[in-house]
A and B are shown apart, each in its own frame.
Chain A
């Protein structure tokens, strides 16, 4: 009878330990998923991602980066300004009337901060002004 009582405790200890480790494994994986999601959604991570993609694929890729990562916040203003110019170039490229679009590109160049994006817009403007 007493042996049975002790066996019950051994079984309980094993069951507790197994349940404990299973629950801790669940918590660990869930927490890791959450922390990764949080990191991916953070502004700094998205900003780094855009800059990296811009370096890898050029400024024309900026619109895709903004669109697919849902980057609508004010922190991305300068990228959206460039995208306005880029989309004006795309529209102008497939339109008979180029003037409204070259004006948008010229407006961007008037206040452009320089760098790769400005060079790209200069190229777009040159292409649209080509007869």
Chain B
């Protein structure tokens, strides 16, 4: 295997490492003056990175490093979805990073974020459980640093500690599960394992352990207990990253492993997922109703969204995979738009993040209120916004495989979720307020990211080509 083969199939990761090194070097070399342009440089680099890797160059599947690393066109698409999410997060994080107590560690933010992205890419492309685990850890450890990035704030440090402790525990369980698999199959290569998977009691236990590790990353009930506190404590741009990119990568990786490795145990993991979906959607929705802090609110909303994402995983079909990637993309733009508005308001109003602070936002900041409203509509699945289409497709995916009752439960839950999503809209548009958030002008970078998200919300659903493009490469059991 020569370097050109590696370059052919690992181009995303190699380019990403290049970007990371560039960020490190720039942080090192650029003086105080150069750092002013750091944001612009990083966004340009990310843009180039995305432009260079967005299209799957190789149309056929391949594995390199003896099967450790697997390439498939759909992986490439997922990686570019993740990269786009990261770019959007970068764009909306500028106003926060420009504060005096974070300005000097800008470089760290970029490097840590990109490292987690690299970890996710490896996790998605893994062909071996060790590789998968390394990817997962690379995605988790820098993430806890990011969560604790505002380390002088009590909340942020606490959230970081909570995150890393839960992450370690989940990884431990997962590793334990993987060791069972090694014990029962004698290998950790995905392809070699398949014939040895027979659904024995030990393997079911191992699968549950493995699932726990990823369930933590996706924050499914009952592995969600860290979510609300971490989301609330972490700096808002990090929360947005955590809630979309990290979740998307883990959900996709889970689906790939379930399809590729655990296909012989399909009835077991479908049962497991069935329970987890019902729990996630219902519990998260019931908790979301009571939240007053918008970040906690979106934390519970994202748990229930994760439950919806699992509807695509449970189907195990190529169509399900398409719906998953599409859902993740749509969820990403909508959620980032919501978090973008929250960041903008938080940065321009001395940290107001409670729902009642948003009362009367439409009177003072109509554009932000409209962006928030459209994001919420998309999250709630209201047409003609993209969220409606992605929800419909995901329901169709699960329905096709005969999960009628499950889809029905999920649909009933969409009504509960509509109720609490409407509360935000009610606050912004209907509830009067004597001292609403003062009118402000958000910075260009935030505006750009909100504009991109808005374009996504409006266009992704109506233009079917995105869905069709993903559908070309999806695979299933």
| Chain A complexes with chain B | no
